Amino acid sequence: MHEAAPVNPWVALAYLVAGVCFILALRGLSSPATSRRGNRLGMIGMGIAVVTTLVTHVPGTAICISEECSVGRFDIDWITVVEILGAIGLGAVIGLVTARRIAMTAMPQLVAAFHSLVGLAAVLVGIAAYLNPGAFGISSLVVPMIGQPFAVINPVAKVEMALGVAIGAITFSGSVIAFLKLNGNMGGKPILLPGRHGINLGVLVGILLCVAVFAHGQDTWPFWTILVASFAIGFLLIIPIGGADMPVVVSMLNSYSGWAAAAMGFTLGNTAMIVTGALVGSSGAILSYIMCRAMNRSFLSVIAGGFGATDSGGAGSGAAIDRPWKRGSAEDAAFLMSQAEQVIIVPGYGMAVAQAQHALREMGDKLKEHGVRVKYAIHPVAGRMPGHMNVLLAEANVPYDDVFELEDINAEFAQTDVAFVIGANDVTNPAAKTDKTSPIYGMPVLDVEKAKTVLFIKRSMGGVGYAGVDNELFYRDNTMMLLADAKKMVEEIVKSIE
């Protein structure tokens, strides 16, 4: 590692407190009941880290406990201070406006967009460090026998810088593609390039070779080649991944953004960035692995760009099946559920699009007044990002004790009178268990078809799920389709129950 300036003990303590806050924040975010506290702890930790960094890095404001460095310590560079505060203020305004205006349905693409900004920030810091290494303390002065002295970047710092730029660039371009897919600007189906695995492997090997050449030489071309190739590989890795795997992609890109920040932390000699980046990177990687297991996907194949993806297969062709099905009304649904002993509600992305979570909670409350047990079943990848449905239900003040994960509630469907599915397509499709040609085959799904009656809210019979797979559950004898806007249908059901 390049030689760093001595760290003031108070600065180290502040960064330690910030790191503890980040760890406690992650622990708090593991449960809806403690998520608010987790968010607050994360904000406190980030505030401590930002203030400490500003105080110790703005010229003339560095904290010092020795008499030798006390002279001129209050000679503040106000131009730099104004520039920094202006950038922070601009970012704060953009973040505040975005947070107030963004719809919950757009949260997945917002998260992808934020990941891209983290990656871009890492790239820009790496470029700045490469162009002006002296300002970052990563260069050494070489005095040749003949000629003028010149500065060279330390080899270890070059490796740190190259890795930070590479991971940041992959995060940026990959997140842009994820944003476009989640926002509907690109289709949810995998885009498969001929020979994509060989291309990806070749580009990755080329990046590693350029890192080695860059670390031991003085040429400029390896650095810029690393940058361009990394932007390209981020694009190539994400476009082959289909819509069904997008929640894993969002989590994976979150991990990449953390590792990019950690790598830049080494370049900047900033302990807080290293700790925070490592926490985000490791937690994102663990979450991605857990979600891959929940979907029966290979973790390595997903991060390698959907290694097993194909553009063919059974119901995955995208067209809805032309088979007989039963249509019901709000009155039918209200009668069946009010007479039931237990109703399990299965929310999906359709609920998010219709903003039906508040009406859904009201329906659950009305059913409870009739003596019905009401539970909510959450699939790990329902929605477009990890925890999407949990966030929406928490926003509607659905009791945490009523919400169950797949492995905790799947066995109860066989003893349930009514399974009420609201816009959850792929995660309830029995084809995942029976059709080996289906793109979602092998993915654990909610066993809603085992309930005595399945009520399925859908806008129309013409569409398919985000994975491009028609749901054979629609055509089961015990399924009644409720074709309408989810929020409007639930509100009509509430009136009928009353």
Amino acid at 85: L
Cβ atoms within 10 A of the Cβ of 71, count? 9
Q: Are 270 and 121 in contact (CB under 8 A)?
A: no
Rounded Cα distance between 449 and 430, Å, is 8
Amino acid at 260: A
* Sign of the alpha-carbon dihedral angle for 93, 94, 96, 97: positive
3 state DSSP class of 343? strand
Q: Is 34 exposed, middle or buried (0-12, 13-18, 19+ CB in 10 A)?
A: middle
Rounded Cα distance between 168 and 259, Å, is 8
Q: Hunting for tokens 């991990």 — which residue is that?
A: 255
* 458, β-bridge pairs: 483
Q: Are 44 and 23 in contact (CB under 8 A)?
A: no
Torsion from C-alpha of 434, 192, 113, 377, nearest 10 degrees: 0
Rounded Cα distance between 322 and 336, Å, is 27
Considering only CA atoms, which of 208, 207, 309, 317 is closest in space to residue 249?
Answer: 309
Task: Give backbone dihedrals phi and psi of 363, rounded to 5 degrees, phi first.
Answer: -65, -45
Run of H or E residues at 151: strand 150-153
3 state DSSP class of 469? coil
Task: Give backbone dihedrals phi and psi of 157, rounded to 5 degrees, phi first.
Answer: -65, -35
Residues labelled catalytic: 426
Rounded Cα distance between 454 and 473, Å, is 9
Both tokens of 124, joined, read 């820009």
Rounded Cα distance between 80 and 82, Å, is 5
| β-pair type (342-347, 373-378) | parallel
- Within 381-482, where are the H helices? 388-395, 406-409, 431-434
Torsion from C-alpha of 231, 233, 235, 236, nearest 10 degrees: 160
